[in-house]
Amino acid sequence: MTQSFTSFIPPTRVLMGPGPSDVYPKVLEALARPTIGHLDPKFVDLMDQVKQLLQYAFQTDNALTMPISAPGSAGMESVFVNLVEPGDKIVVCQNGVFGGRMQQNVERCGGIAIMVQDDFGKPTDLNKVREVLLANPDAKALAFVHAETSTGVLNDAKALCQIAKEFDCLSIVDAVTSLGGSELQVDKWEIDAIYSGTQKCLSCIPGLSPVSFSEKAIAVIKQRKHPVQSWFLDMDLVMGYWGQGTKRAYHHTAPVNSIYALHESLLILQEEGLQNAWQRHFKNHISLKNGLDKLGLSLLVDEKYRLPQLNMVLIPNGVDDALVRNRLLTEFNLEIGAGLGSLAGKVWRIGLMGCGSSQKNVDYCLSSLETVLN
Amino acid sequence: MTQSFTSFIPPTRVLMGPGPSDVYPKVLEALARPTIGHLDPKFVDLMDQVKQLLQYAFQTDNALTMPISAPGSAGMESVFVNLVEPGDKIVVCQNGVFGGRMQQNVERCGGIAIMVQDDFGKPTDLNKVREVLLANPDAKALAFVHAETSTGVLNDAKALCQIAKEFDCLSIVDAVTSLGGSELQVDKWEIDAIYSGTQKCLSCIPGLSPVSFSEKAIAVIKQRKHPVQSWFLDMDLVMGYWGQGTKRAYHHTAPVNSIYALHESLLILQEEGLQNAWQRHFKNHISLKNGLDKLGLSLLVDEKYRLPQLNMVLIPNGVDDALVRNRLLTEFNLEIGAGLGSLAGKVWRIGLMGCGSSQKNVDYCLSSLETVLN
């Protein structure tokens, strides 16, 4: 017989790691409203609103814009399994952990990933991308991470998409950490396929992945020679449920309550305004940066391509990484992130995402760090 | 610019369709507690409790027992992508929509699905299964749906697993609608791989899929020649995060709040006791059946293999299917399910699942139906 457990009452943390970020109280309220059926007309109306609100967040008119019913890594997979067929060449830019995950995805689809490698902490080198595309005129797509959550680098999405266009490639963009936090223009930049997460700059609960596909991407999907290897993520089937009109074919049972939460978080974003949200993320980043300077702490990433919502702080010599994070968590209920991949032990990742991007959080983080480091 | 929308306040429905079922208020409360990090030690403790509680619900000691961070159809996919390699023969029993989805999964993994077909509304014929396995001694697995949500039939899982054993096949079981509602014994019946959903007899929110794999299934996964085609559902990677001990490798960001909810719903199941839950589902089914008799309504499925938690009511001649369901929804806030696949327009699906399996719901459904049909 299993042990007897009791209801779980989580501690109230301040989430300043790489995500999940603090969730808006109104989003948690929405989350807990009574569940209704996934084919209920009221729910279908809500789905339509969520699609429109996501179009605003992504700055796109793409009809195929909706949340995948699973976390960002499933969103990533939805893009690759639908666009990549066996033998396809995909140029993948890697300057962090998530570029490597893209490579895994391409290869598990039977595609050939041609890697453009840059150091963790540096941006993707546009010249290298051009060279690789010149050498591979048959490449089908250029894939890159807009905001590298593992390194705190903002890649130049606009320029990379232009290069993809020049070489007649689809552009595939990981916007997990950028959506709602940094400028992102799906239509203006002509992005063909993009995925994000709800638990970063949208300050929603983790578990959903907003995606958007251009008409060009849809045409590529429609011309596939092989069936999509995933039934769950086959966009043709998913769209039977999320598609236009009131007639919806059952595909899977949507995570109804999570969709309530996403809707609420997108309402909050719309109310603030995208540009205002981007500016707020930048302003609080500068404030954190100035405070870190005073503490004698410096950032890994050069100012030119530094991500405002995720700050990579170099761990000073002689300081015990795990001990500091543990003290912050247990004494201050403050979560900051550890380094990932080759940056493990070398940096802390301090997130200022969504409603967590506030002067209050900046101050709390700085004062807590100061206490622990002294 | 997108239209301005307001917060979504769902109607309070009585959910008596094929799922989602009514969610326990305590589960919604747990869902809305503050989000914490997916690597927070407190969350890791919770994950361990959830694993143990799921072992109880599945009646198994399988170490590899955890919830997939996506709906039941992703749970189904997690089983097939991990166990099926290109060229593998899988015998799939189909007597409803979900057996067909299993076939899709096998084929999208490059496997060969050998189908055992029975009519929708009839159980899988054990003799046919034996014949097919005799004719295919190289079959790797026998896959079937325990409780067919599309037809209301309970297949004889115990006998089917014994047959799989006889023929040295892995057994793969869809328990989306049976877990918590009908007897299910993963260890006693020697089930090798099983998946379920949270939105049926657990009365939890939709969006997670509990799975369990036997040691034998794990050995098969470890001996794979080809990488698992899904990165998100690769159990080897998933287990790095959900595995034993306090050291957890980041794989994806867990749907933290949904896990709170699942934990709470499993606590409620443990408190009631599995056997009591099964008996309650049966008792309320009998009560509904007696009431339907009085209304002159009959059930599609023979008593011997009728599913207590999902009742297939034959739509009387001359009655407008959609109109009745619409009136129940709009006038009574009562959701019942439409027929699926070849049963569309022929049956209603009345669910008595989880906390929705109550005398109160039975009475409400009968009196509402009586009003609408007269």
Q: Which domains does chain B have, with CATH numbers?
A: 14-20+274-373 (3.90.1150.10), 25-270 (3.40.640.10)
3-state DSSP assignment of residue A200? coil
Type of residue found at A219: A
Average pLDDT of chain B is 96
Between CA A132 and CA A136 the distance in angstroms is: 6
Nearest to A61 by CA among A258, A213, A172: A213
Q: Is the pLDDT of residue B164 over 80?
A: yes
Burial class (CB in 10 A: 0-12, 13-18, 19+), A257: buried
Q: How far is A224 from chain B (nearest CA, A)?
A: 14
Between CA B108 and CA B92 the distance in angstroms is: 14
Chain A residues whose CB is inside 8 A of the B17 CB are 37
CB pairs below 8 Å between A and B: how many? 262
Segment A174-196 mean pLDDT? 98
Nearest Cβ partner for B267 among A7, A36, A255 = A7
Chain B residues whose CB is inside 8 A of the A232 CB are 70-71, 73-74, 76-77
Q: Would you state the structure tokens that stand for residue B52, as one six-digit string?
A: 């143990």
Instruction: For residue A206, say if its preceding peptide bond is cis, omega within 30 degrees of 0.
Output: no
Q: How many other C-beta atoms are found inside a 10 Å radius of the C-beta of residue A83?
A: 26
Nearest Cβ partner for A206 among B28, B38, B228 = B38
Q: How many other C-beta atoms are found inside a 10 Å radius of the C-beta of residue B151?
A: 33
Chain B residues whose CB is inside 8 A of the A31 CB are 31-32, 257
Please report which confidence band the pLDDT of residue A190 belongs to, taking 50, 70 and 90 as the band edges: very high
Share of chain A above pLDDT 90, in %: 95
Nearest Cβ partner for A2 among B26, B52, B253 = B52
What is the structure's pLDDT at A156?
Answer: 98
Q: Any residues with CB less than 8 A from the CB of B111 and at least 6 apart, and which?
A: B80, B84, B85, B86, B87, B88, B89, B90, B140
Mutate to test the interface with B, among A22, A50, A54, A230 (most CBs of B within 10 A): A230
What is the structure's pLDDT at A369?
Answer: 98
Chain A residues whose CB is inside 8 A of the B37 CB are 13, 15, 17, 20, 335
What is the structure's pLDDT at B248?
Answer: 81
pLDDT in tens, B333-352: 999 999 988 899 999 999 99
pLDDT in tens, A134-180: 999 999 999 999 999 999 999 999 999 999 999 999 999 999 999 99
pLDDT in tens, A301-342: 999 999 999 999 999 999 999 999 999 999 999 999 999 888
Between CA A350 and CA B71 the distance in angstroms is: 32
Segment A362-366 mean pLDDT? 98
Segment A112-133 mean pLDDT? 97
Segment A359-370 mean pLDDT? 98
Q: Check CB contact under 8 Å for A335 and B36.
A: yes
Chain A residues whose CB is inside 8 A of the B69 CB are 70-71, 74, 207
What is the structure's pLDDT at B259?
Answer: 98
The DSSP bridge pattern shows strands B64-68 and A193-195 to be unpaired
Cα within 13 Å of Cα(B5), Cβ side: 24
pLDDT in tens, A52-107: 999 999 999 999 999 999 999 999 999 999 999 999 999 999 999 999 999 999 99
Q: Check CB contact under 8 Å for A206 and B231.
A: no
Q: Is the pLDDT of residue B246 over 80?
A: no
Q: Check CB contact under 8 Å for A26 and B7.
A: yes
Q: Is the pLDDT of residue A129 over 80?
A: yes
Between CA B138 and CA B90 the distance in angstroms is: 9
Between CA B260 and CA A257 the distance in angstroms is: 13
Instruction: For residue B20, say if its preceding peptide bond is cis, omega within 30 degrees of 0.
Output: yes
DSSP E strands, A214-345: 310-314, 334-338
What is the structure's pLDDT at B244?
Answer: 66
Q: How far is B213 from chain A (nearest CA, A)?
A: 19
The number of residues in chain A equals 374
Type of residue found at B308: P
Q: Is the pLDDT of residue A245 over 80?
A: no
DSSP string, B285-352: HHHHHHHHHHTT--BSS-GGGB-TTEEEEEPPTT--HHHHHHHHHHHH-EEEEEP-GGGTTTEEEEE-
Q: Which residue on chain B is closest to A270 by alpha carbon?
A: B4
Q: Check CB contact under 8 Å for A5 and B77.
A: no
Nearest to B12 by CA among B365, B335, B296, B268: B335
Give the single-character DSSP code of B4. P
Residue B362 near residue B322 (C-beta atoms within 8 A): no
Q: Check CB contact under 8 Å for B70 and A232.
A: yes
Q: Check CB contact under 8 Å for A19 and B253.
A: yes
DSSP string, B249-261: ---S---HHHHHH
What is the structure's pLDDT at B134?
Answer: 98
Nearest to A204 by CA among A54, A306, A55, A349: A54
What is the structure's pLDDT at A342?
Answer: 87
pLDDT in tens, B118-151: 999 999 999 999 999 999 999 999 999 999 999 9
Q: Is the pLDDT of residue B1 over 60?
A: no
Q: Is the pLDDT of residue A1 over 60?
A: no
Please report which confidence band the pLDDT of residue B300 belongs to, taking 50, 70 and 90 as the band edges: very high
Q: Check CB contact under 8 Å for A72 and B340.
A: no
Chain A residues whose CB is inside 8 A of the B10 CB are 33-36, 42-43, 260
Mutate to test the interface with A, among B14, B36, B272 (most CBs of A within 10 A): B36
What is the structure's pLDDT at B2?
Answer: 59
Segment A279-301 mean pLDDT? 98
Mutate to test the interface with A, among B50, B176, B187, B232 (most CBs of A within 10 A): B232
Q: Check CB contact under 8 Å for A73 and B231.
A: yes
Share of chain B above pLDDT 90, in %: 95
Average pLDDT of chain A is 96
Please report which confidence band the pLDDT of residue B245 belongs to, taking 50, 70 and 90 as the band edges: low
Q: Would you state the structure tokens that stand for residue A122, as one six-digit string?
A: 């540096």
Chain B residues whose CB is inside 8 A of the A29 CB are 32
